Amino acid sequence: MFAYIVRRLLWAVVLLVVLSMVTFSIFYLVPLLGGATPETLAARYVGRAATPETVHLTAEKLGLLDPVPVQYWNWLKGVFVGASYDYGAGVEQCPAPCLGYSFVTKQPVWPELLDRAPVTISLALGASIIWLVAGLSVGVISALRRGTIFDRGAMGIALAGVSLPIFFTGLIALAFFSYKLRITAPGGTFVPFSENPARWAYSLLLPWITLAFLFSAQYARLTRAGMLETMTEDYIRTARAKGLPERRVILKHALRGALTPVLTIFGLDVGLLLGGAVLTEKTFSLNGLGKYGYDAIVNQDLPKILGVTLVAGFFVIMTNLFVDLLYGVIDPRVRLE
Amino acid sequence: MNHSRSWRGRALAVAGLSATLVLAACGGGGGEAGSQQGSSSQGAQAAFNAASTSVVNPSDKKGGTLKFANEGDWDTLDPGETYYAYSWNFARLYGRSLMMFQSAPGKEGNQLVPDLAEAAGEPSDGAKTWTYKLRKGVKFDDGAEVTSADVKYAVLRSTDKQIFPNGPAYWDALLDLPSGYKGPYKTPNMNTDSAIETPDEYTIVFHMKKPFAAFDYLAQQPDTMPVPKDKDTGAKYRNSIVSTGPYKFADVQPGKSFNLVRNDQWDQATDPNRKALPDRIEVTLNVNADDIDNRILSGDLDVAVTAVGVQPAAQSRILQDPNLKANADNPLGVRNWYTSIIPTVAPLNNIECRKAIMYAMDHTAYQTAYGGVFAGGDIATTILPPSVPGHADFDLFPSGPDHKGDLDAAKKSLEACGQPNGFATNMGYRAERPKEKATAEAFQQALGRVGIQLTLKPYPQGDYFAQYCGLPPYVVKNKLGLCTNGWAADWPDGFGFLSQITDSRVIRPAGGSSNMSVRIPEVDKMLDQALTELNTDKRNQMWGEIDKRVMEEAVIYPGVYSKSLLARSKNASNIFVTDAYGEYDYLGLGAQK
């Protein structure tokens, strides 16, 4: 098991380096292959009345005049040993891991990512707990009461949840609960957990519920389908025949068997969300990684794009590792070698 | 209304109400606004567009907190680099430039008044030299008195375009800087007295390369707000600005929020222009634009600081609800959305063919493409918008009583240019801008009525001027006869509006200029002459004449003078629009709570 984990972690590093090379190529190399010049790239980061000299100076400052492999090497070096940045009135040392400086805001990328990560982590974890609990509960009950009004109603609401986009439900929820009824926090009022845990939860309650509404649908349907399948298995009949309480039969035996596909999806969903729930963060004005990445793309801020991509990739890799480890716990037939 | 009541109990209530998400929540705005409308503090002054010409909810009450929100990030708070109208409007809260636009409603807001300076600039040497005397007793927020050296340093640091590439570039172009000067960071020991002299602590003298009669407009730019050299941190100064205005920064969180609190070193006795009513100003960044509108309408927020106008959802609510509409304004901006008709592309090298376009185009379709009367703007017939001094009302190419085009006149012009059955050409627009796409389509349909066939060509906006419509060889090679365009002046003055879009000398073979179509040597001379005219009224008249001369050549089709629909705060007092920025004047606002 330990060797398995170490191997996976080493592969994670390799994957992240490959990811960085691919991302770097897409944003730094492909435009040049398409006919752009360092100056035309730099022109995106200057004011509207910039002279050609200003554009050239900017291209030089941003390192765009160097060959792309040199730019990548300088960036990679910064990740492992740090870099320095001339801000005019002085030179600042950017300690490792230095993911560069924003082309637009001139701020170092890594501290900004660290600053925004708690928002996204809070949003993703809180919503995932709600949708997992809600989805599993509804799925189990629907499976046990198959064909009843509850089953049909729950699946109908699940369909609505998965069909309605977050920017619709989110804005409606804000307008109704936050500004009309005034019982939830307005948008953009995130309070860090370390500052006040209760207010942290209050500030995220509406985004959690709205996001969970979107995701719990598929978990309810997956759980229901899995339960319906496992409830017909022989070992369930055996468990009942042995006189086990029905609750134990369902929760310990049937649900456990139905969890594998749910876990797979859960790992993917949480991993992707940790990389940034763009629409949710934008709707609720949460300054998380998703919004950071979105703004980076809109502004074509390459260091930020690179930073967010790597962080998102890291989270996807780590959550998938976690899910794989969990398989071994949940399903004794799985041996991690 | 605040959210200080117990949130624990409400959180429990919400869990039970989650199923009610399916309930419509968009209605009921009228009821909320109605209850606020009845308050005596707004009273009879609440009327649609009232703040464009007068002060709504006047009050001198000090105290309270104003809440601003920005749907994106601030470009920068550094006065040496910021380049957005809203930011220049806002910067007057924390900085004092040599001159400033008067904090007054409507056209009065276009008047320049001395701020850090005691009086307007004194010209000499044929308007190549300008001298200002600073007010005594103005201090930074750390208690140090502001001197002319601080103003000189502020201007010079802004000329380093490697550290500050986004800001305006007037000083670089106009000041008589020594050859090889690269700013105070790279060439700190170079003598710059040829450009700016400080004979004493309260006198500053600017030397220009050429006469510049409108220098006071340069002096109102935020880059003349003093910066203490020992506190300057270059590109990082944006997060640690030393204030000279009535407010100073507190709790700056880049990309998230910042607050302004009272600057205890600001002395009202040195500042006749500001009332500094609120105690505190809170600014939140990166807030969802629709959420900003909802929060303003519900009273949770005071100002959408970028003033681009409410989103479509809020717009329909406001315009359909008399109560909400009575608390909204529709100011004219300082921007003209227009289309360049490019004379280097045949057959548009013939003026009659260009005139055919001017006559044939449907002006109301242009307005509709930009969002209609409220969100788009007023139909434009000149280059200078009405809010810019020097604007004169004229229409050289009447488009009929319904503004849908004069097809007979267009056909006559086509015959005169030897194209009686029309001709074909291409039209460029910025792909990411739906309004420009709609404009291009409107041109295609309108001109098609007289046989002018347009093929529409979308281009990425990031490279639009550098690589496509603004690159002269590309335009000719790809037969781009028309290109969508637009311009907002850096300040409401003829030079600010016309110099970058009507001076042929700004057109670069390497591309990048906003002037795609105006190559009239006579106009170049008229621009130079206007800059030597020290009498403001005469100079403004000259700008109007330049406008007309350019329009005679039919190289610009003016579309709309931009407007935006703004919702007024329920909490703010002294709400009025300043013509200087086409926005609410942020300096005058007060807070009721």
For chain B, give the mean pLDDT: 91
Q: Are A113 and A287 in contact (CB under 8 A)?
A: no
pTM of the model: 0.86
pLDDT of residue B285: 93
Cα–Cα distance for residue pair B360/B342, rounded to 1 Å: 16
Q: Which chain B residues contact residue A173 at CB under 8 A?
A: 21, 25
pLDDT of residue B45: 59
DSSP state of B45: G
Q: Which residue of A has its CA nearest to B173?
A: A51
A171–B290: do the CB atoms touch at under 8 Å?
yes
The helix/strand/coil state of B68 is strand
B508–A52: do the CB atoms touch at under 8 Å?
yes
**Chain A CB within 8 Å of residue B237 CB:** yes
Q: Give residues 421 to 460 of B whose Cβ lies within 8 Å of A.
A: none
What parts of chain A have a pLDDT lower than 70? Answer: 48-49, 330-337
Q: Which residue of B has its CA nearest to A284?
A: B288
**Chain B CB within 8 Å of residue A171 CB:** yes
Looking at B115-214, which runs of residues are DSSP E strands? Answer: 122-124, 129-133, 196-200, 203-207
pLDDT of residue A334: 63
Domain-wise residue ranges, chain A: 2-106, 110-330
Cα–Cα distance for residue pair A329/A260, rounded to 1 Å: 11
Q: Which chain B residues contact residue A109 at CB under 8 A?
A: none
B288–A171: do the CB atoms touch at under 8 Å?
yes
pLDDT of residue B44: 39
Burial class (CB in 10 A: 0-12, 13-18, 19+), A12: middle
Cα–Cα distance for residue pair B410/B418, rounded to 1 Å: 12
The helix/strand/coil state of B578 is strand
Contact partners, residue B550, CB within 8 Å, separation at least 6: B383, B502, B518, B520, B523, B556
B265-292 residue pLDDT tens:
999 999 999 999 999 999 999 999 999 9
Contact partners, residue B306, CB within 8 Å, separation at least 6: B70, B71, B72, B84, B86
Q: How many CB atoms lie within 10 A of CB B473?
A: 11
pLDDT of residue B71: 93
A58–B286: do the CB atoms touch at under 8 Å?
no
- Secondary structure percentages of chain A, helix, strand, coil, to 5: 75, 5, 25
pLDDT of residue B26: 41
> Which of A92, A172, A283 shows the shortest C-beta gap to B21?
A172
Instruction: Evaluate if residue B371 carries a pLDDT over 50.
Output: yes
DSSP state of A98: -
What are the distances in angstroms from CA B329 to CA B201, B249, B307?
44, 30, 11
* CATH classification number, A110-330, choose in 3.40.50.2020, 1.10.3720.10, 2.40.110.20, 1.10.40.30: 1.10.3720.10
Indicate the pLDDT class of residue B20, thresholds 50, 70 and 90.
very low
> Which of A176, A201, A291 shows the shortest C-beta gap to B23?
A176
Least confident of A186-200, B108-122, B228-242, B443-457: A186-200
> Which of A49, A180, A202 shows the shortest C-beta gap to B169?
A49
> Which of B10, B21, B284 shows the shortest C-beta gap to A169?
B21
Cα–Cα distance for residue pair B163/B146, rounded to 1 Å: 24
pLDDT of residue A332: 66
For residue A68 the two structure tokens come to: 């792309």
Q: What is the DSSP string of A15-40?
A: HHHHHHHHHHIIIIIHHHHTT--HHH
Å from A189 to nearest chain B CA?
9
Cα–Cα distance for residue pair B187/B487, rounded to 1 Å: 35
Whether a cis peptide bond, with omega within 30° of 0, leads into B509 is no
Task: Count contacts between A and B (CB, < 8 Å).
Answer: 182
B166–A172: do the CB atoms touch at under 8 Å?
no
Cα–Cα distance for residue pair B153/B171, rounded to 1 Å: 12
Indicate the pLDDT class of residue B512, thresholds 50, 70 and 90.
confident
Å from A275 to nearest chain B CA?
19
Q: What is the ipTM of this complex?
A: 0.83
B7–A187: do the CB atoms touch at under 8 Å?
no
Indicate the pLDDT class of residue B459, thresholds 50, 70 and 90.
very high
B381-426 residue pLDDT tens:
999 999 898 999 999 999 999 999 999 999 999 999 999 999 999 9
Burial class (CB in 10 A: 0-12, 13-18, 19+), A293: buried
Cα–Cα distance for residue pair B252/B282, rounded to 1 Å: 10
The secondary structure element, H or E, covering residue B584 is strand B583-584
Helices (H) and strands (E) in chain B, counts: 18, 23
B258 phi and psi, to 5 degrees?
A: -155, 160
Residue B89's nearest CA partner among B495, B378, B490 is: B490
> Which of A88, A176, A206 shows the shortest C-beta gap to B234?
A88
The helix/strand/coil state of B568 is coil
Bridge partners of B139, per DSSP, are B145
Residue B364's nearest CA partner among B355, B377, B352, B351 is: B377
B21–A182: do the CB atoms touch at under 8 Å?
no
**Chain A CB within 8 Å of residue B291 CB:** yes
The percent of residues above 70 in pLDDT, for chain B, comes to 92
